[in-house]
Chains A and B, each alone.
Chain A
Amino acid sequence: MYEGPIQDLIDELSRLPGIGPKSAQRLAFYLVKAPPDEAKRLAEAIVTAKERIFFCRECGNVAEGDLCRICRDESRDRTVLCVVEEPKDAATIERAAVIKGRYHVLGGAISPLDGVGPEDLRVQELLDRVERDGVTEVILATNPNLEGNATALYVAALLKPSGVRVTRLASGLPVGGDLEYADEVTLSQALEGRREM
């Protein structure tokens, strides 16, 4: 559609997740029109991130070195592991400061439609950690959607022989939410997980 560098930029941007051709075009023209150091700062941030950020060899979270901040922290309980799909999920749970243990980032969820199978996830690393560190509980905090549930079921079945306690985050009504707006599936799960008062 366009020629030369501008089209190259649009093509590169439209390869990013969540960016369609129209957004890519808007971003490209914004960057071209922006002051030179704005575009430069963005380019540098991308290059620096790519050079300096690694994935923790223990948990798979983003790290600035070999190990992430949490895996370096000896005060964190090694025997409780919270399993999440992506680094951003670990960050979300960490912000709530509800887990005293450590994380394990799988790197996604099983989804044949997206070509992601168990072999693409850090499942073996999880099994190794459980055995090596004498883990007593694995909390499965994959997303409460179809793919996240299938992943949790898959991981739980693999962990079963080790005898470790495996738990799954509860699903149900959001705190501060309105019963009227809950869909059928959420309501039935909330009902299944109801508690004695």
Chain B
Amino acid sequence: MQLRWIELRDFRNHGDTRVVVPDGLVVAVGPNGAGKTNLMEAMFFLCSLTSPRVSDNKPLVREGAAAGYVRGEVESLQGKVLIEVEIPGAGANRVQVNRSPVRRKRDVRRQARAVYFGPDDLDVVRGEPGQRRRFLDEALVALWPLKESLITAYDRTVRQRNRLLKDWEGKGAPAGLEAWDAELVENGCALTRARAEAATRLAPYAEEEFLHLVGYGLACKYLASVEGEPLEEAFRERLIARREDDLIRRTTLVGPHRDDLGLAVREMGARAFASHGEGWAAALCLRLGLAAAVAEELGEPPIVLLDDPFSALDPARQVQVAERLAGRGQVVVSVADESHVPKNADEIWEVAAGAVTIQGAS
């Protein structure tokens, strides 16, 4: 899959930027604050209609502008699609695919697939389990955009059940709890299975990337809150067993909202990663593993966007990563330092003050 060109208007610090994006390894270089990350963010936004950095639209719109715009053309084995997004500072985006309005995010996501790595991904390795659940869900949507409804359905079920428990003042269990239990089991099992499948798909690729880059193994394993066969029965049993605790703590203690993704190097938990570089490598390899899993699922590589992937790696590893990025379809990488530009770049862009100049190959 390839992004053919992209146009940004009033998006972050880009007043009016248009670039033709070639296939292969593209490197955007420029000082901090020049707009490299913003450009990568716009590319991801075009494919997913969400920012990898912020949950709110407001920061995406250039200060003083009423709305931001991103448009671009994505070519895949399915053909070419023109995607146009108008981002108002407040309210819903207006999205058109091939000049027809679309209502749902998935109408864009199933046609344009991108995987994004950024410095915040270090939190996936070093942060709380919630960060890893978020990664698992992002992987789920990247692999199968239509499965996003599983995440939202489960999330709402937990919030409903928790509110019921929180507001309950009386003795015993509140009326209707059984109905929410049944919903929790159904939606929770669906999400557990989907996350397990996503983890199973990406883990071998992530482990392989890590082994190649670091020289020893990374074990990546989905740790579900509820396990057992049949899963529905196991979930129901756990829920009944913990019901007293649920009522005392007034919250739901069992279910995929308490999942984790186990990451271990050299028999240690990844959160105990010895070095910053090692954690960074693991975070990068998870995204590269996801990209490989998406490529397998789609039959063609997704667009890969790596924001500042080299900064915490030593020079030898930078070269290794860059070499492995060759032949993986379209990969756009940003670096702050000229010396980090890989030798095998197919095209180099210089980004300064929200403008892009094409410099040619290295």
Residues in B164-206 with C-beta less than 8 Å from chain A: 164, 167, 174-176, 178-180, 182-183, 187, 190
Tell me, yes or no, whether A6 is within 8 Å of chain B by CB. Answer: no
Most chain B CB within a 10 A radius of its CB, from A111, A146, A147, A151: A146
Complex CA distance for A64 and B148, rounded to whole angstroms: 45
A112, A184, A185: the one contacting B167 at CB < 8 Å is A112
* B272 on the A face (CB < 8 A): no
Chain B positions within 8 Å of A113 at CB level: 159-160, 163
Number of A-B contacts (CB under 8 A): 62
Chain A residues whose CB sits within 8 angstroms of the CB of B156 once the complex forms: 146
B179 and A184 contacting across the interface, CB-CB below 8 Å: no
A183 at the interface (CB under 8 A from B): yes
User: What is the 8 Å Cβ interface bit string for chain B, positions 132-151, against chain A (1 contact, 0 not)?
Assistant: 00000000000010111110
The reply on B49 being an interface residue by CB < 8 A is no
Known contacts A112-B163, A146-B183, A183-B146; A117 and B175 CB within 8 A of each other? yes
- CB of A184 within 8 A of CB of B150, answer yes
The minimal Cβ–Cβ distance linking A161 to chain B, given in whole angstroms, is 14
Shortest A121–chain B CB gap in Å is 10
Residues on B with beta carbons closer than 8 Å to the beta carbon of A173: none
Q: Which of B109-154 contact A (CB under 8 A)?
A: 144, 146-150, 153
CB-CB under 8 A from B178, the residues of chain A are: 153-154, 157
Q: Which of A118-146 contact B (CB under 8 A)?
A: 118-119, 146
How many Å lie between the Cα of A188 and that of B161 in the bound state? 23
Known contacts: A112-B167, A113-B159. The answer to whether A150 contacts B176 by CB under 8 A is yes
- In the complex, the chain A residue whose C-beta lies closest to that of B184 is A150
Number of residues in B with C-beta < 8 Å to the partner? Answer: 27
Known interface pairs A113-B160, A184-B150, A188-B190; A150-B183 also in contact (CB < 8 Å): yes
Please count how many residues in chain A sit with their CB below 8 Å of the partner chain's CB atoms: 23
- A154's partner among B176, B187, B190 (CB-CB below 8 A) is B176
Partner of B183, one of A153, A181, A187: A153
B contact patch SS: helix
Query: What is the CA–CA distance of A111 and B176 in the complex, to the nearest angstrom?
Result: 10
A111 / chain B contacts, CB cutoff of 8 Å: 160
Residues of A within 8 A of B167 (CB): 112, 115
Name the interface residues of A168-197: CB closer than 8 Å to any CB of B: 181-185, 187-188
Selected from A118, A182, A187, the residue in CB contact (under 8 A) with B176 is: A118
Where chain A touches its partner, the secondary structure class is: helix
Give the chain A neighbours of B160 by CB distance below 8 A.
Answer: 111-113, 146-147, 150
Contacts of A115 in B (CB 8 A): 167
| CA A110 to CA B117, docked complex, whole Å | 41
Report whether A118 and B175 are in contact in the complex, using a CB–CB cutoff of 8 Å: yes
Q: Complex formed: what's the CA distance from A43 to B61 in Å?
A: 42
Contacts of A119 in B (CB 8 A): 175
Question: Closest residue of chain A to B194, judged by CB?
Answer: A184
Would you call A110 and B176 a contact (CB within 8 A)? yes
Write the chain A residue with the least CB distance to B182: A153
With most chain A CB atoms within 10 A of its CB, the pick from B144, B149, B176 is B176
Report the separation of the CA atoms of residues A183 and B183 in the bound assembly, to the nearest whole angstrom.
18
> Contact at B150–A150, with CB atoms within 8 Å?
no
Which of chain B's residues have a CB closer than 8 A to the CB of A118? 175-176
Q: In the bound complex, how far is the Cα of B144 from the Cα of A183, in angstroms? A: 10
Contacts of A151 in B (CB 8 A): 179
How long is the Cα–Cα vector from A183 to B179 in the complex, in angstroms?
24
**In this complex, what residue of B is CB-closest to A158?**
B175
Q: Once bound together, how far apart are the Cα atoms of A146 and B158, in whole Å? A: 11
* Cβ-based interface call for A25 (8 A): no
Bound form: Cα–Cα A184–B180 in Å = 21
A84 to B106, CA, bound (A): 30
Residues of A near B174 (CB, < 8 A) are 117
Residue B334 at the chain A interface, CB threshold 8 Å: no
Query: How far, in Å, is B55 (CB) from chain A's closest CB?
Result: 19
Considering the chains assembled together, what is the distance between the CA atoms of A119 and B161 in angstroms?
16
Task: Determine whether the beta carbon of A183 is less than 8 Å from that of B180.
Answer: no
Residue from A149, A153, A184 in contact with B149 in the complex, judged by beta carbons closer than 8 Å: A184
A116 to chain B, nearest CB (A): 10
22 A-B pairs in the complex with CB atoms less than 8 angstroms apart:
A110-B176, A111-B160, A112-B161, A112-B164, A113-B159, A118-B175, A146-B156, A146-B157, A146-B160, A146-B187, A147-B160, A149-B183, A150-B176, A150-B182, A153-B182, A181-B107, A183-B148, A184-B144, A184-B146, A184-B147, A185-B150, A187-B146
Q: B interface vs A, CB < 8 Å? A: 106-107, 144, 146-150, 153, 156-157, 159-161, 163-164, 167, 174-176, 178-180, 182-183, 187, 190
Closest 9 CB pairs of A and B: A112-B163, A153-B179, A112-B164, A154-B179, A150-B179, A184-B147, A183-B149, A184-B146, A185-B149
12 new A-B pairs (CB below 8 Å) besides A112-B163, A153-B183, A183-B146? A110-B179, A112-B161, A112-B164, A113-B159, A115-B167, A117-B174, A118-B175, A150-B179, A154-B175, A157-B179, A184-B149, A188-B190
